[in-house]
Copies of this chain bind each other. A is one copy, B any other.
């Protein structure tokens, strides 16, 4: 917010003036969008496609800290988080609505920054901003985004379709967003004690970007299509690998063996974990916010995907009675608990 010289109060524009300013440059990109911003509701026509809908609510001080999250990145991330849920259904996001509640500390220029990030995400992911609500709050910033997507009827992937012996796979690498957050929080604490201290962030671009400007795995859904694979179940990793595996197992009524040494992690993640004396696998299991896709595929599809560098096979599904287990590098089997493995250790 400090970059701008002129700070215009929202009351100078009024609600309708503000909406006009924040949405005037929108160009509709999807054929399914009939009418976007500017009426009581947006109008869409999905023809014979199925429609998926997901929503998230982010509040200042809980989901983000404006001390170190630039507003443009925040806007981008708020959209990405929602799109990630749409991709997790094997669908393509097509529309979003964005509602914000703002206290009087936010200027029009600050909201321009937030919406610059929102518009950039729409551009990157080919999504139309079709509606929303702009209102006041007594304190802080709240962002609520709903994403809609479309998918052919027989391609929808839910959490419940995994079968025994299906391969458990993940895109990208894990734990980076969590270690990026630890770094940002540490440097923020140092800054609060001494305002002249410059944060030491060099060499950690990757994990910082994982935290501040994550991407949703649009490419993975496209690769599935190209390879002719429909995963048997899928979920996005927002709460940490451990919690998401528990969801897949519970919804599919199965157990699972997860191999510790197969879990993909970037070197920066491992280095930062070492600095914080954290076992990196804990960052991957419980950290969250990686926005990678966790999915299961039938063994029959193994040949199709085995040479693709975008996926890592990290385990396989078992009968429910066998439980949900982490097989450590040393070969011992530990029951996995959602958000609990860390503390149980």
Chain A positions near chain B (C-beta within 8 angstroms): 34-35, 38-48, 50-63, 85-86, 88-89, 91, 95, 97, 99-101, 130-133, 135-140, 142, 144, 146-149, 153, 156, 158-160, 234-236, 251
Contacts and interface: CB of A to CB of B under 8 A. Distances in A.
Contact of A41 (B40, B53, B136, B142): B53
B34 A41 contact: no
Nearest to A158: B39
Which secondary structure dominates chain A's binding surface? strand
17 contacts: A38-B251, A39-B158, A40-B85, A41-B52, A41-B53, A41-B54, A41-B85, A41-B88, A53-B131, A54-B97, A55-B97, A56-B133, A57-B133, A59-B136, A62-B101, A144-B144, A146-B146
Nearest to A142: B142
B42 A53 contact: yes
Contact of A51 (B44, B63, B156): B44
Count of this chain's copies in the oligomeric assembly: 2
Nearest to A42: B53
A157 to B, nearest CB: 9
Among A41, A47, A53, A142, which residue has the most Cβ atoms of chain B within 10 A?
A41
Nearest to A35: B158
A150 B47 CA distance: 12
A145 to B, nearest CB: 9
A34 B85 CA distance: 17
B144 A55 contact: yes
Contacts of A38: 159, 251
A149 B133 CA distance: 18
Given A89-B43, A99-B144, A136 B53 contact: no
B131 A55 contact: yes
B236 A138 contact: no
Nearest to A148: B53
Given A101-B59, A135-B62, A54 B40 contact: yes
B43 A46 contact: no
A116 to B, nearest CB: 21
B57 A144 contact: yes
Given A62-B135, A138-B140, A89 B52 contact: no
Contacts of A130: 53
Contacts of A139: 138-140
